[in-house]
């Protein structure tokens, strides 16, 4: 059986390694999301009509969320 001090150090080392791995995976994922967003933005720049509808849709979504927030019962 390990002493409590050694067991704590062993579990902390595992946690640190897991944190580093999770951070690396999260960074790679976010880089992928940014790349896809940049591609979409580049292509949408060429399609002005589609960009207009996307902006309108985004506005409607934000207005809807604002109304939902304003009408929500306060707890």
Nearest C-alpha neighbor of 41 from the set 28, 27, 61, 55: 55
Q: Mean pLDDT throughout 70-74?
A: 83
What per-residue confidence (pLDDT) applies to 42?
Answer: 84
Q: Mean pLDDT throughout 2-25?
A: 64
What per-residue confidence (pLDDT) applies to 32?
Answer: 94
Burial class (CB in 10 A: 0-12, 13-18, 19+), 44: middle
| Chain segment 20-51, per-residue pLDDT in tens | 777 788 888 999 999 999 998 888 777 888 88
Domain count, the chain: 1
Q: Is the pLDDT of residue 57 over 90?
A: yes
- Domain encompassing residue 64: 4-71
């Amino acid at each position: 059986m390990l002493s409590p001090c050694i067991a704590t150090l062993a579990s902390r080392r595992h946690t640190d390694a897991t944190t580093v791995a999770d951070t690396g995976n999260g960074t790679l994922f976010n880089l992928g999301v940014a790349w896809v967003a940049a591609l979409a933005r580049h292509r949408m720049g060429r399609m002005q009509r589609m960009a207009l509808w996307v902006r309108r849709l985004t506005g409607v979504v934000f207005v809807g969320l604002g109304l939902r927030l304003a009408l929500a019962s306060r707890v």
